[in-house]
Amino acid sequence: MKVKLITLKHHEDYGHDWYVQILHTKRYAFLQASFSWNDYASWPYIQIKSGCGSVLSIMFWAYRFGIDVGFLEHTWNWDYREEVQLDTSLDDCMPPWGHSDLEYLAKNREDV
């Protein structure tokens, strides 16, 4: 089990997100936090939870600023986010709405 002291990440998508993990392994982290400044505003709220993968998690949001802090919880997986961003092909999941119904049925029919 390899313990890392600190990991920092930045992500930009409809705003900026900065992530920090302190004393973490591949599966668990002592402290995780994220700070966000988003392009779209929202009503303020606070969420406090315990359980489901964390001892204590606090999320606060006000206008465009957000902060999320988690103590003793499952490690956030940034590799998954990078894999999803790399897979941008939509060919496999395009809906048939762009085709006429008969054309779609002719291409995708199964002979019985």
Per-residue pLDDT reduced to its tens digit, 8-36 = 988 888 889 999 999 988 888 999 999 99
Q: What is the DSSP letter of 111?
A: -
Its pTM stands at: 0.62
Question: Does 91 or 5 have the greater pLDDT score?
Answer: 5
- Report the domain count for the chain: 1
Q: How far is CA 47 from CA 2, 18, 23, 26, 28, in A?
A: 31, 19, 24, 26, 21
Can you tell me the distance from the alpha carbon of 17 to that of 3, in angstroms, rounded to the nearest whole number? 24
pLDDT band at 112 (very low <50, low <70, confident <90, very high): very low
Task: Supply φ then ψ for residue 11, to 5 degrees.
Answer: -135, 140
Question: Does 95 or 11 have the greater pLDDT score?
Answer: 11
List, in sequence order, every residue forming a beta bridge with 34; answer none if it has no partner. 19, 68
User: For the segment 39-88, what is each residue's pLDDT rounded down to a tens digit?
Assistant: 888 899 999 999 888 899 999 999 999 999 999 988 877 665 566 555 55
User: Domain residues for 41?
Assistant: 4-108
